[in-house]
Chain A
């Protein structure tokens, strides 16, 4: 289990977020992401967990009028990814994301994985082949697709598509990977595969995962944060949260009294 000596990879400091309509979706959130650990965000729908996750790679910048306040600092370089002087594209090159619904491009399996490299200007076929293979292996998909790399990604099953999206996010060696309810559109077997994969990936990078499924948080994560109405109610070791939560609200949510 988590130890105090683990390095902090990133931390939110008094983070507030406002949507363009003025709604305040996050209220003064401060919490760390420990390096090579999985941190889970749980809480009822609309509590702001996805909003919080999408701050990390500045996804909110795509829509005009959204406003951040506070900091998300990445270590070891102490970069505040929310700083307006920091290019969101640079941030997204360091922090990749896997979405709720598998969203492969209508391209081949190979091109899906290679896209992040192409965006970085990589054109060398050999390097690209190696990277694609490595990423697909990392996403536990290589054996299923190695003979049909140039097939359309849409021909894969839902679970395979989601692993392809993980491979795409993995191919560029990110430091942090964000998962936004990655299994909500998948069947139980595909869900188990993705969960297993996340635990394996932990050795390579730091993971932040939003989940509406408490069992999933309990199964995969090292740390859990419970959010409600835009506030961080409790953050602790996953074991502690699920066995002996410090706050009454957390306990109510976890035991199913509410939510």
Chain B
């Protein structure tokens, strides 16, 4: 083909070529949109199905009644209280441990093959199937440490499960802080801890919080490890209240109490032959999704709110 020098001399050819190239643009944009819709629509459809099936149970009684043999009267009370208590144990263990571990790994740990190994393993742990955590917990918490099939065991298990998520998101949040800010702090004579506490932690807690909430949302829906450690599926009582009217006003008996959580209750209802219970299961599923979406929404909002005043 003869070499032609300028665009002007070959205007028609050049325009045809640009048009051809732009077709690829349109092609990919369409393909991408279809893929996105596939994922999104599936989720929406599922959610819609749950709402359609479960809507007769969208009332306050559903939240204030214990499970029952009669589907119409059965409620979620013991399950959502159980979820709440288990999540508090998870929060209280995974957050301090995960954040401290992340801060240590990022700021204090020497960089050598050993910490590299730990790094790789922490990331890998996030991908371990949750039932493996259940087996570990069964051996460690239930049998070895004799915590029983309790709220404490479940909370610790889910804590372990989300620990890698908390550690990884803590480290990512810390890494977003530019070197220049650290150097500025070291430059006026700050110690490592002063830099970590006054700056690194304070500027990254939006991101850390996001990781924590996303981890908690994941823990909320986990079923497999909880079944493995032996949660009850039919429970018509509440654990002892953590707060009492008499001094010292705190009570830790609930930690060793039997329990159930929302996904297990849902699983239980779903496995019954009586279709009336499936309505309850659908309503529970919808509730779990709503709470999870709310938590993720809160995470996004918090991150936006906290990051608003920080421009690097």
Contacts and interface: CB of A to CB of B under 8 A. Distances in A.
Q: Verify that A and B bind, or say they do not.
A: yes
Interface of A: 57, 59, 62, 64, 89-90, 92-93, 96-97, 99, 101, 103-106, 115-116, 118-120, 152, 154, 165, 168-169, 172
Contacts of B183: 59, 62, 97, 99, 103
Contacts of A57: 187
Contacts of B194: 119
Contacts of B180: 99, 101, 103
A119 B196 CA distance: 12
A178 to B, nearest CB: 9
Interface in B284-312: 309-311
B191 interface: yes
Contacts of B310: 106, 154
Interface of B: 110-111, 178, 180-191, 194, 198-199, 203, 309-311
Given A99-B180, A105-B199, A172 B189 contact: yes
Given A92-B187, A99-B187, A172-B189, 18 more contacts: A62-B183, A89-B189, A90-B189, A105-B181, A105-B184, A106-B181, A106-B309, A106-B311, A115-B185, A116-B189, A119-B188, A119-B191, A154-B309, A154-B311, A168-B184, A168-B188, A169-B187, A169-B188
A195 B188 CA distance: 22
A92 B181 CA distance: 15
Contacts of A97: 183, 187
A101 B110 CA distance: 28
28 contacts: A59-B187, A62-B182, A64-B110, A64-B111, A90-B189, A92-B189, A93-B189, A96-B188, A99-B184, A99-B187, A103-B184, A104-B184, A105-B185, A106-B309, A106-B310, A115-B190, A116-B188, A119-B188, A119-B189, A119-B190, A119-B194, A152-B309, A154-B309, A154-B310, A168-B184, A168-B188, A169-B187, A172-B189
Contact of A89 (B181, B182, B191, B199): B191
B22 to A, nearest CB: 39
Contacts of B199: 105
B110 A115 contact: no
| Of listed B110, B189, B194, B310, residue having the most chain A CB within 10 A | B189
A116 B184 CA distance: 10
A106 B111 CA distance: 28
A126 B220 CA distance: 50
B187 A115 contact: no
A107 B192 CA distance: 19
A190 to B, nearest CB: 18
A165 B180 CA distance: 12
Contact of B184 (A64, A118, A165): A165
A110 to B, nearest CB: 15
Among A106, A120, A152, max chain B CB count under 10 A is at A106
A101 B312 CA distance: 11
Contact of A92 (B188, B198, B309): B188
A118 B198 CA distance: 10
Contacts of A62: 182-183, 186
B311 to A, nearest CB: 6
B187 A96 contact: yes
B204 to A, nearest CB: 11
Contacts of B203: 106
A50 to B, nearest CB: 12
Interface-central residue, B110, B178, B184, B203, by most chain A CB under 10 Å: B184
A30 B189 CA distance: 26
The 5 closest A-B pairs by CB, nearest first: A116-B188, A93-B189, A103-B180, A92-B189, A97-B187
Contacts of A115: 185, 188, 190, 198
Contacts of A99: 180, 183-184, 187
Contacts of A90: 189
A97 B183 CA distance: 9
B26 to A, nearest CB: 41
B209 to A, nearest CB: 16
Contacts of A168: 184, 188
Contacts of A116: 188-189
Contacts of B186: 59, 62, 92
Contacts of A96: 187-188
A35 to B, nearest CB: 21
Nearest to B190: A119
Contacts of A59: 183, 186-187
B155 to A, nearest CB: 35
A177 to B, nearest CB: 11
Contacts of A105: 181, 184-185, 199
A151 B47 CA distance: 46
Nearest to B307: A106
A104 to B, nearest CB: 8
A82 to B, nearest CB: 16
A69 B294 CA distance: 58
